[in-house]
Amino acid sequence: MKEGKRVLIVDDKEDIHWILSKVLKQGGYTSLSAVNGREALEQMEKSRPHAVILDIKMPEMNGLDLLKEVKKKGLNIPIIILTAYGEIGGAVEAMKLGAYDYLTKPFENQEVLLRVQKAVGEHKLREEINTLRSQLEERATLFELMGTSKPIKKVIEQIKCVAGTNFAVIICGETGVGKELVARAIHNISPRKDKAFVTVDCGSIPEHLLESELFGHEKGAFTGAYVTKQGQFELANEGTIFLDEINNIPLSMQNKLLRTLQEKCVRHVGGKQDNKVDIRVIAASNEKLEDLLTQHRLRRDLYHRLNEFTIEIPPLRERKDDLLLLSQHFLKTTNRELSKGVKGFTEQAVECLLSYSWPGNVRELKNVVRRAVLLSDHLVEPKHLLIPQDHPDLIQPFNSGKELTANGLSLKTIGKRAVEAAERTAILGALKQTGGNKSKAAKLLGIDYSTLHYKIKQYGISRFNGTGEVSLGRESP
């Protein structure tokens, strides 16, 4: 069915707009119009057309520049380039930048409808693929909530209890326990499951941009606001919005947030009109909200509006029964990712896993197991688990007043050197696995690119020669 399918025409010539609008109407499509690149971006973000017909030659921002902006913003909309006969070079360049197809002027009406029909079909296919990918990812991540321990069973029961309601939910827990997973689980079994789930990391957005990100802004509201932009609350309309690290929202903005929750409407920065929204709000904090109230960092009325239902996620150290189940899960998924056949963990490795306190919780466990699978060929041993050897929960302190030694070296020094050797081995393995690509190696190791760069210099790994070998500048300590 073509009913409701929107096609955006981007051209600075009125006659082209008139002709294409007439053709599209005959084909059962609704046409939208823009006369320059900035208007086009505004329409694409606001109206979400199913396809775009874009003239490659326009003033201010030409078609190629617009394609680059579309790609930068992640707007996954098929674009048909309109170019003059004999200027195919520009169309080829546009295809390289991500254009779906092209039309040459003069064009036949049936040719326009055929290209648009294919583009709209492509849009539907892309959406279905994205939906399927999201569902598969959600099923995989939801396993990380599973467990047999009483604390996690309580969390799962709470999820089932509150999911069918429209209650606002506060999720509390340490960093890495899986607060977003719980929020997604609530959404996925709620009546809103077929609508949007929008995550806003309030801790990663600069304070001066957070208001615009949440509530949207009008064109010209501030320097750089070239187009009207919807905020995350509008994008989450009829679905769920997850406000992570809500403890980072400044007091100056909390009144506007409270108004949005109470009146179910948002007002753009620089705007005068309220836009109605129907949303379910889930918020998370790694700090106790009661402490925020005491410190006057959270409005009491906002606290009561958000705190209709609370879920406390226990840290991994209190869920030892779940730790090995999760470890096996991460081992299997990493085996598939790396095409390896690591069978499991030795008894000594299991003891290491159980004796560590996991301050980074499930996220840290996942990274440790992934690195261990990378380093191991058959079974994961303690040497493959790059857990800090001087962690107080792993090695009990001695009160003899003397430093234990072996072969003239302190055990602390021996432990440090063992960790460094294991780290270097992991880095070499990751570089070999990724063909020397440092960005991919950092992702595989679960560390930042800057950390990997520092470690490479620290361990004298001078270069990757492209043949599967890494050149070393010095021996490991």
Tens digit of each residue's pLDDT (9 = 90 or more) over 235-256: 999 999 999 999 999 998 999 9
Q: Give the whole-angstrom CA distance, residue 121 versus residue 358.
A: 48
Q: Give the whole-angstrom CA distance, residue 79 versus residue 51.
A: 6
DSSP assignment of 18-62: HHHHHHHHHTTPEEEEESSHHHHHHHHHHH--SEEEEES--SSS-
- Specify the pairing of strand 30-34 against strand 6-10: parallel
Q: Give the whole-angstrom CA distance, residue 406 versus residue 414.
A: 8
Residues whose CB falls within 8 Å of the CB of residue 125, separated by 6 or more in sequence, listed in order: none
Q: Give the whole-angstrom CA distance, residue 10 versus residue 17.
A: 8
Ranges of H-type helices in 357-436:
361-375, 411-433
In 161-204, beta strands by DSSP E: 169-172, 197-201
Same domain, 27 and 43: yes
312 phi and psi, to 5 degrees?
A: -100, 120
Give the count of alpha carbons within 13 A of 441, CB side only.
24
Residue 142 lies in a domain: no
User: Domain limits at 124?
Assistant: 6-133
Same domain, 324 and 300: no
Residue 477 lies in a domain: no
Can you give the CATH number for the domain in which 270 is found? Answer: 3.40.50.300
Tell me the pLDDT of the chain (477 aa) as tens digits. Answer: 455 689 999 998 888 999 999 999 999 999 999 998 888 998 898 888 999 999 988 877 888 888 988 888 878 899 999 988 667 788 888 888 889 998 888 888 999 999 999 999 888 888 877 776 666 555 555 555 667 788 888 998 999 899 999 999 999 999 999 899 999 999 988 999 889 999 999 988 888 889 999 999 988 888 888 888 899 999 999 999 999 999 999 998 999 999 999 999 999 998 888 999 999 999 999 888 889 999 999 999 999 999 999 999 999 998 888 898 899 989 999 999 999 999 999 999 999 999 899 999 999 999 999 999 999 988 999 999 988 754 444 433 333 333 434 444 444 454 556 566 677 778 887 888 887 888 888 888 878 777 787 778 777 775 554 444 444 444 333
Choose among 382, 376, 375: nearest CA to 353.
Answer: 382
Q: Give the whole-angstrom CA distance, residue 300 versus residue 306.
A: 10
Q: Helix 411-433 to helix 438-445 angle, to the nearest 10 degrees?
A: 130
Residue 267 lies in a domain: yes
Residues whose CB falls within 8 Å of the CB of residue 319, separated by 6 or more in sequence, listed in order: 147, 149, 151, 152
Residue 160 lies in a domain: yes
In this predicted structure, what is the pLDDT of residue 12?
87
Choose among 363, 322, 316: nearest CA to 146.
Answer: 322
In this predicted structure, what is the pLDDT of residue 134?
61
Tokens 């009325």 -> residue: 301
Strands across the sheet containing 101-105? 30-34, 6-10, 51-55, 79-84, 101-105
Please provide the average confidence, as pLDDT, over all residues in the chain.
Answer: 83
Q: Give the whole-angstrom CA distance, residue 415 versus residue 426.
A: 16
Same domain, 27 and 75: yes
Choose among 365, 366, 477, 383: nearest CA to 426.
Answer: 383
Q: Give the whole-angstrom CA distance, residue 443 versus residue 438.
A: 9
Contact (CB, 8 A) for 238 and 196: yes
Tell me which of 79, 103, 133 is where a domain ends. Answer: 133
Same domain, 212 and 281: yes
Same domain, 334 and 286: no
Q: Give the whole-angstrom CA distance, residue 441 versus residue 432.
A: 9
Same domain, 299 and 322: no
Q: Give the whole-angstrom CA distance, residue 258 versus residue 261.
A: 5
In this predicted structure, what is the pLDDT of residue 222?
85
Residues whose CB falls within 8 Å of the CB of residue 402, separated by 6 or more in sequence, listed in order: none
Contact (CB, 8 A) for 201 and 245: yes
Q: Give the whole-angstrom CA distance, residue 68 versus residue 56.
A: 12
| Max Cα–Cα distance, the chain, nearest Å | 91
Can you give the CATH number for the domain in which 47 is found? Answer: 3.40.50.2300
Tell me which of 133, 167, 194 is where a domain ends. Answer: 133
